[in-house]
Amino acid sequence: MTPDALADLVEMDGYALYVWGSFVMAAAIAAWEALMLVQRRRRALEDLQELRRLQAGGAGQAAAAEADGRRGHAA
């Protein structure tokens, strides 16, 4: 594409604000939505990891309490 043709494409016969305003908004919406989607998935996975840690911690505490109870009976 020649520089003149590129300049004509950018200028859009004076309609640049309206045409590129539409294209840029469409691209911005797609980018923003993609960012929101990635963040939402990351947050969901982090919450599940945290829940797994808490459940593992709770299971560990329950096992430790049971072990203490057996030691108490044995003593």
Partner 1 sequence: MPLDWPHPHADASVPTPLRMYTCAGRWLPWCLATALASGAAGALLGLLATPDALPQGQAWRIAFVHLPAAWLSMLLYAATAALALAEGLAHPPWPPVAAMALAPTGALMSFLTLWSGALWAKPLWGQWWLWDARLLAEALLLALFVAFMALRAGLAGPTRGARAGALLLAVGLPALAVLVIAVHSWNPLHGPVPTGLTRLPVLDGGLRAALLLTGLAFTAWCGAAALHRLRSLLLEQEPAAAWPQTFLEPR
The shares of helix, strand and coil residues in the chain, as percent rounded to the nearest 5, are 95, 0, 5
- CA separation for the pair 45, 37 (Å, rounded): 12
Q: Which of 48, 62, 64, 67 binds partner 1 (CB under 8 A)?
A: 48
**Total length of the chain:** 75
How far is residue 27 CA from its own chain's centroid?
19
Binding residue (CB under 8 A) for partner 1 from 41, 60, 62, 67: 41
Site string for partner 1, 2-21 (x = CB under 8 A): -------x--xxxx-xxx-x
Residue ranges that bind partner 1, judged by CB under 8 A: 9, 12-15, 17-19, 21-23, 25-26, 29-30, 33-34, 36-37, 40-41, 44-45, 47-49, 51-52, 56
